[in-house]
Amino acid sequence: MTINSDKKTDRVPPKALNGDARPSLPTAQSTLDSVCRSATELAKSAPKPPQRIKLQHGQISVEIEWPQEERPSTPAAPAPAAASASASAPPSTEHCLLAPTVGTFYHSPEPGTPPYVAVGDLVRPGQPVGVLEVMKMMSTIQADRAGRVVEILVPDAHPVEYQQRLIVLEPLEPLEPLEPNAEG
């Protein structure tokens, strides 16, 4: 049997034999579920958890980003030198407070109120330094050690990624007292 490419051939879909004239197409929900399952399996199979996962439903798009093995210098090269020169401490002594998850970082507890900390402020372990909003839930970000705020890396009300650097601290000796209401 030969088929002429100029002629259209009528093929009967398998479902038509059962009384349904339309072929079975995957629903949007089943396609989305399948994409989500595939992205989850891919993320689980990697040696490290992904830094970012983005799924899009229309025209189906999946983006998965893993953290780089080593980041030789995340900020621009002159910035650490300038910061260490003004702080009179080598860059290796600086400590960064990191975002515990993705979300939106806020400097103050509510709009219109003063920020928790500013550059030059002294902080103690457990002191609030910002708020992270994740899916309409607010979590207080606390200092994990005593130090002086050297730099605030994320602008107010900006999105952050998991383990993104938020605030740079110059660690202080644990015996140095910090007043709860100390300014500057």
pLDDT at 88: 46
Q: What is the pLDDT of residue 99?
A: 95
Residue 52 has a pLDDT of 75
Q: Do residues 87 and 137 share a domain?
A: yes
Q: Does 59 share its domain with 108?
A: no
Q: What percentage of the chain has pLDDT greater than the value 70? A: 60
Q: Give a yes or no: residue 32 inside a domain.
A: yes
Q: Which pLDDT does position 75 carry in this prediction? A: 45
CB of 159 within 8 A of CB of 104?
Answer: yes
Q: Is the pLDDT of residue 9 over 60?
A: no
Query: 70 pLDDT band (50/70/90 cuts)?
Result: low
Q: Where are the beta strands (DSSP E) in the chain?
A: 52-56, 61-65, 95-98, 103-106, 122-123, 128-134, 137-142, 147-152, 158-160, 165-171
Do 162 and 91 fall within a single domain?
yes
Question: Looking at the 3D structure of the chain, how many domains does it have?
Answer: 2
Could you list the residue range(s) of the whole structural domain that residue 42 is in? 26-65
Q: Does residue 5 lie within any of the structural domains?
A: no
Please, are residues 53 and 63 in contact by the beta-carbon 8 Å criterion? yes
- Residue of 58 and 114 predicted with greater confidence: 114
Helix (H, G, I), strand (E, B), or coil: what is residue 42? Answer: helix
Q: What is the pLDDT of residue 78?
A: 43
Residues contacting 141, CB < 8 A, separation 6+? 97, 99, 100, 105, 128, 129, 130, 131, 132, 166
**Non-local CB neighbours of 51 within 8 Å, separated by 6+ positions:** 65, 66, 67, 161, 162, 163
Lowest pLDDT segment from 8-17, 30-39, 66-75, 95-104: 8-17
C-alpha 88/C-alpha 93 separation (Å) is 11
Which amino acid is it at 153?
L
Q: What is the pLDDT of residue 48?
A: 72
Predicted TM-score of the model (pTM): 0.47
pLDDT at 71: 47
* C-beta of residue 146 within 8 angstroms of C-beta of residue 178: yes
Residue 149's pLDDT band (boundaries 50, 70, 90)? very high
Tens of pLDDT along 107-131? 999 999 999 999 999 999 999 999 9
What is the residue whose two structure tokens read 């989305």?
32
Token digits of residue 137: 């839930």
10 within some domain = no
> Which of 15-29, 74-88, 96-110 has the lowest average pLDDT?
74-88
**With 70 as the cut, is the pLDDT of residue 17 above it?**
no
In a shared domain, residues 59 and 91? no
In this structure, the answer to whether residues 47 and 123 fall within a common structural domain is no
Token digits of residue 133: 């909003």
